[in-house]
Amino acid sequence: MNDNVIDRSKDITILEVLDRVLNKGVILTGDIVISVADVDLVYLGVKLMLSSVETMEQLKAGKAVGDKELNG
Amino acid sequence: MMIYAILSVNKDSEKLNVLLGGIKGILGADLSVVNFDNVAVIGSETKRAELMADKSNAIEYAGVIESLAQHFTLLPMRYGSIMESTDAIIQMLGRNYSEIQQNLLKVENMWEFGLKVFCDPEKLKADLSRKSDIPPSCLAEPDPELQHSIYRDWVNKKLKEHRNEEMLLTYVNSVIAEITGYLTGLNAVNKFKKMANTSNIIDAVFLLDKDKKDALIHAVSDLQNQHGGLSFILTGPWPPYNFVDFTVK
């Protein structure tokens, strides 16, 4: 098995893990807070919770851009 | 408290305590138990402000659930489930006890598996098209006055595209029927999604007895041998994320 095949399998497995843990499982009715550092960034009902890795990456990118702007 | 899973503990609470001593929650937090009758909620004192939108935290969270699932029947919670206090958790367990029990019973001694089937879409379409060329009688009637009209070419192109889509769907259905045939023998519960995208033609999840794992691997291996042009990727065993169908009240 070459490295590409191993890498691809690893990527698929990570995506499968994230898909399950973010999109499946028992849903808790109520509110949830996902925050970056100590600032509440997203305040959502659980049903509207983050649905993909991309969303998380966007949140992190948004925070990084915000920091840059604040720091001039 | 950040909640990871709801477990069926029955008389295994001592085993659970030993297990929890060896597992850490996300951000290295200690895990704790909230008991209610014969079920238990596993959580950690993770504060809302600490719950980062971070891939590694989500993977750590899944890791805790997976470690617990190796030893207990459980209902995995979605990442980010937080309740304010132990009292709130106990009240929640009381309100949802019947549904929790039903779901725990449904997934007892079962594992979830995922199966994704990939293809090279262009190659598959070409193969299917070759196997079933459109007979001339199915093409649009020639315009008596204009033998090579743009209209006729357009209709024939659309007709061909439509038939290609139909052929692909028929083919996907036939592969699903084959998979289902194997799964029926394993008494598996299954969910299929067709054509998730152009290359991922089947995205399926199964719930089956833990002791049928080897039989499933063997079945998927058989399917792969019969369909050389497709890629079958089996993942698992997973905790039953896709088979817990309820929202906690």
Confidence check: pLDDT of A38 > 50:
no
Q: Domain of B119: which CATH number?
A: 3.30.70
Distances (CA, A) of B189 to A47, B100, B132: 25, 19, 34
Q: Which tokens go with B62?
A: 């899944």
Residues B236, B115 share a domain: yes
Cis preceding linkage at B121, omega within 30? no
Percent of chain B whose pLDDT exceeds 90:
50
Q: How far is A33 from chain B (nearest CA, A)?
A: 6
pLDDT of residue B103: 94
B248 and A25 within 8 Å at the Cβ level: the answer is no
Residue A72: helix, strand or coil by DSSP? coil
Q: Has residue B248 been placed in a domain?
A: no
Above 50 in pLDDT, residue A40? no
Q: Output the CA torsion B119→B125→B129→B134 (10° steps).
A: 140
Q: Does A65 contact B at CB distance below 8 Å?
A: no
The pLDDT of residue B1 is 87
Q: Tell which of B108, B136, B161 closes a domain.
A: B108
Residue B19 above 80 pLDDT? Answer: yes
User: Closest approach of chain A CAs to the CA of B58, in angstroms?
Assistant: 7
Domain check: are B116 and B90 in the same one? no
Write out the two tokens for B5. Answer: 């899973």
Q: What is the mean pLDDT of chain A?
A: 57
Instruction: Let me know whether B86 and B141 are in one domain.
Output: no
What range defines the domain where residue B135 resides?
111-243
Nearest-angstrom CA–CA distance, A26 and A44: 16
How far is A69 from chain B, CA to nearest CA, in Å? 20
Question: Residue A64: is its pLDDT beyond 80?
Answer: no
In angstroms, what CA-CA distances link A52 with B4, B16, B94, B167?
19, 32, 32, 32
Map tokens 């291996």 to a residue.
Answer: B221
State both tokens at B52. Answer: 């980062």
Best CA proximity match to A25, nearest among B233, B121, B242, B223? B242
Regarding whether B148 and B88 lie in a shared domain, the answer is no
- Secondary structure of chain B in HEC code, one letter for each residue: CEEEEEEECCCCHHHHHHHHHCCECHHHCEEEEEEECCEEEEEECCCHHHCECCHHHHHHHHHHHHHHHCCCCEEEECCCCECCCHHHHHHHHHHCHHHHHHHHHHCCCEEEEEEEEEECHHHHHHHHHHHCCCCHHHCCCCCCCCCCCHHHHHHHHHHHHHHHHHHHHHHHHHHHHHHHHHHHHCCCEEEEEECCCCCEEEEEEEEEEHHHHHHHHHHHHHHHHHCCCEEEEEEEEECCHHHCCCEEC
- Are B55 and A42 an interchain contact pair (Cβ–Cβ within 8 Å)? no
Average per-residue pLDDT for chain B: 86
| B51 and B121 within one domain | no
Verify that B103 and B156 share a domain, yes or no.
no
- B90 and B122 both lie in a single domain: no
**Structure confidence by residue, pLDDT tens digits, B154-190:** 888 888 778 888 888 899 999 999 999 988 888 889 9
Say if residue B102 is in the same domain as residue B161.
Answer: no
The H or E element spanning position A65 is helix A53-70
For chain B, the domain total comes to: 2
pLDDT in tens, A4-25: 555 556 677 788 888 898 888 8
Residues of chain A in contact with residue B49, where contact means CB-CB under 8 angstroms, are: 33, 35, 38, 40
Q: Which chain B residues contact residue A9 at CB under 8 A? A: 233
Question: pTM for this structure?
Answer: 0.76
| Domain shared by B24 and B118, yes or no | no
Closest residue of chain A to B246, computed from CA coordinates: A26
| H-run or E-run covering A27 | strand A27-28
Strand order in the sheet with B200-209: B189-194, B200-209, B110-119, B230-238
Distance CA A31, CA A49 (A): 9
Which pLDDT value is given to residue B196? 83
Q: Are strands B74-76 and B110-119 parallel, antiparallel or unpaired?
A: unpaired
Residues B81 and B177 in one domain: no
CA distance A72 to chain B (A): 24
**What is the reported pLDDT for A61?**
58
Q: What is the mean pLDDT of residues B4-29?
A: 88
In a domain, B249, yes or no: no
- Say if residue B60 is in the same domain as residue B79: yes
Tell me whether residues A25 and B77 touch, CB distance under 8 A. yes
Q: Which of B54, B89, B108 is the last residue of a domain?
A: B108
Q: Is A13 in the B-facing interface, judged by CB distances under 8 Å? A: yes
The candidate with the shortest Cα–Cα distance to B66, out of B241, B196, B244, B246, is B241
- Domain presence at residue B145: yes
Q: Which CA distances in Å does B205 have to B137, B197, B217, B238?
A: 42, 17, 14, 10
For residue B82, which residues of chain A lie inside 8 Å, CB to CB? 28, 32-33
ipTM above 0.85, yes or no: no
Q: Are residues B126 and B212 in the same domain?
A: yes
Q: Which of B73, B90, B108 is the last residue of a domain?
A: B108
